[in-house]
Amino acid sequence: MEEKKRNVPEGQTGKARIVFVDYMKAFLIVTVVLCHINALDPAVNAWLRSFNMPAFFFAGGFLLKDVGSPRELADAVGRKFRSLMIPYYLWAVI
């Protein structure tokens, strides 16, 4: 039996993408840019700032893979921390 094709294109890694999450992240990026350039009414700007960054982090976290055991989670967090913080501190020294 042939599977129905959903509106889920493949990314560069060959894995299926969740289109809704891509659209949500694109919308949130636009709201962050609009807030940073103060292109909106101050009341709208304050309202957008109340949720746009937390929602963006939620959307990014939604795509984290299930790592399984607490030990695997600790290893994954440690690898991610090193991959982000080592370049950060190197650039801070420069």
Same domain, 43 and 86: no
pLDDT band at 26 (very low <50, low <70, confident <90, very high): very high
Mean of the pLDDT values across residues 79-91? 89
**CA–CA separation, 70 vs 83, rounded Å?**
20
Residue type (1 letter), 87: P
Q: Domain range spanning residue 19? A: 1-63
Per-residue pLDDT, averaged over 29-38, amounts to 90
Do 35 and 74 reside in the same domain of the chain?
A: no
**Residues 19 and 58 placed together within one structural domain of the fold:** yes
Q: Where are the alpha helices (DSSP H) in 1-94?
A: 19-36, 42-49, 52-62, 70-93
More confident residue, 15 or 92: 92
- What band does 8 get if pLDDT is binned at 50, 70 and 90? low
- 54 lies in the same domain as 76: no
pTM: 0.55
8 and 52 assigned to the same domain: yes
Mean pLDDT of 34-55: 89
Q: Are 21 and 33 found together in one domain?
A: yes
Contact present, 4 and 35 (Cβ < 8 Å): no
Query: How many domains would you assign to the chain?
Result: 2
If asked whether residues 71 and 86 sit together in one domain, one would say yes
Same domain flag for 57 and 72: no
